[in-house]
Amino acid sequence: MATILEKLQEKYPNAEGIDDARNIAEAVAAINGVGGRGAGAIADQIEISYTVSFDAGLGTGSIDSMTGTYITPITLPDGSDLTAPEDYEFAGWATESDATEPDVTSPYTPTEDVTLYAIYTEIEEEEEPANP
């Protein structure tokens, strides 16, 4: 997966000697007359987008991939399109397939192409109150 810096260097070959993505983005913004260091202006100029794919993990179902930019966060799906394993419920998303707890929050700002994995937690049975 390409880093932001690598994508910027690819898009702007003259920036090869610049080793910091922010410096490249600020230079591009200045050259194009948008000035300032505003994230929105920079994002409009560099137009780097990332694909966020979703894996149902231990569940079933599918969710279409989404595209987000380095600056613009995306709202992650709530898992309602997935079917959790029996006695489990959707708990959130993680960046590792073997994760046991969610580690990604929504809104999510992708910084590279990524697959997020559905995480499920066991449904706890409610205890019945004891009879006196």
The pLDDT, as a whole number, for residue 112 is 81
The pLDDT, as a whole number, for residue 45 is 47
Q: How far apart are CA 82 and CA 127, in angstroms?
A: 28
The pLDDT, as a whole number, for residue 39 is 47
Tokens 């394993």 -> residue: 85
Domain formed by 49-122, architecture: Sandwich (2.60)
Amino acid at site 70: Y
The pLDDT, as a whole number, for residue 58 is 94
Domain range summary for the chain, segments of one domain joined by +:
4-46, 49-122
The pLDDT, as a whole number, for residue 74 is 87
- 116 sits in the region (left: phi over 0; alpha: psi -120 to 50; else beta) called beta
CA-CA-CA-CA torsion for 18, 22, 23, 28, nearest 10 degrees? 100
Mean pLDDT for each 10-residue chunk of the chain (132 residues)?
Answer: 64 57 60 52 59 95 87 86 96 96 90 92 80 66
